[in-house]
Chains A and B, each alone.
Chain A
Amino acid sequence: MTEFQNNKRILIFSDQSYLLQANEKVRELTEEGYQCEVVSMPVSSNKAEQLLAQQPLGSLVWIYSEEDSAQAIEYAARNAGFSKNEIWINKSSEQNTRIFCSQCHHINEISSAEMFECERCHIKLDPSNHYSIYHKS
């Protein structure tokens, strides 16, 4: 997340199930000199848009939530003028990671980043951090 280093203000949206994780992150970030504000979800899209619009230029938006509501916030943030690089969506380490098979293009859902075998073509895969927003994997 090197792109974020010089930015100081972070608006964090989190739904109940992620609050602990989000708060933990806030502690870390505050120590690193970031100003964080946590908004707990659900939140109406009007309210979200209003909060987003109030953020100073260069702020960041972090979203801790499941896919659908995360997308709604992301959409609101894009409408409010945030660029893709300024929005980060929780890819929880407890959830499965989607790994794109470099040989057969099958997307495997796995829980660790160790070497594993693609469930479709059985080639051995050693996951890298090359991430596609398009394939979400």
Chain B
Amino acid sequence: MDGQPAGDAEERSAATDAERRSMAREAEPRPRGQETAQRPVGPEAEGRPVGREAQPRSVARTARHGPLLPAGLAAAVVAGLAAAPLFLAPFATTTLTRILVFALLAVSLDLLVGVSGLPSLGHAAYFGAGAYAAGWISIHTTSAVPLPLLAGAATGALAAAATGWVAVRAHGVYFLMLTLALGELLHQLAQTWDSVTGGANGMAAIPSAELGGEPLRLAGYVYWYVLAAALLGFLTLWLVARSPYGAALRGIRDNEPRMRALGYPTRIYKYAAFVLAGAVAGAAGGLLAAQERLVTPADLGFTTAALALLAVVIGGAGSLWGAALGAALVILVRDVIGPDLDGHGTLLLGVVFIAVVYLLPRGAAGLVRRRGR
């Protein structure tokens, strides 16, 4: 092809070599995530979006305290939680129940935000959908454990499956906006669909959960029910995050184009994570219905979604247990300290949030440098 006619080509060679060189450099396309791959770590790592971990972890430290310490710690926490109602007043037990419910929501959101890099602002929609479903089943069919819970999980999964396929096509801030819009959509639906949801007044008079024909009336029993279910949910998410599939989700978070080039159909992976997170959020909603025995549109509104996201960020996105810790902090500030501040609890949350972002760029989980990703 040596002697190709080169009219056009000739003309273009008129541009000086230097020009073309600098053009090539500037216009070289960089697939998303490439810059991060090359960026050195350092102070600028603080500015990166939620869910990216960049600081090199100390390898020596990881090696020293194998899996025993975390396992022992987890066992101690579970034992402490199980024993809590024996020592706490009913009000405190109820608050702890609320924390568990909200923690399950936050941890399911962390699977999206921290593990998969999908910052959702509409996650409360699936929580609320699950709560309504569980409430509806309890009122109209049965409140026998675990049926309302399962109905909640199934409804959360269905709602996520119906809306997620659109959402996972978007990236970054577009994903954020899209999930916000989807959340508002379901919120509106809950408000207007009077015959099922009770409209703005909410779904009231949900019967107590029943175990073996006996209604769970005492705060302590409700707590144990919620604890058992929440632990199951945490365990599920934790196992998924540590599996090969979880590793792939973290790969997508770090660099989705590269994952695709390695042969991963990333959209399906993200969709599955979205549906799973929706199912767990729905289950958390089921627990909410059992505990509050009242579901209102606010439970799937923006505020709930934003608080859940706040919990994830405060706790340190990506670690799962950090999100649970963040949830505890959010509920404590909102429900325990907040009422003493004449309703300025939200303000205090804002201050806490700013403090965390400045002092702990990787959230509470960043305090413990561990290998757990």
A, B in one complex: no
**Which A residues form the contact surface with B (CB < 8 A)?**
none
**Which B residues form the contact surface with A (CB < 8 A)?**
none
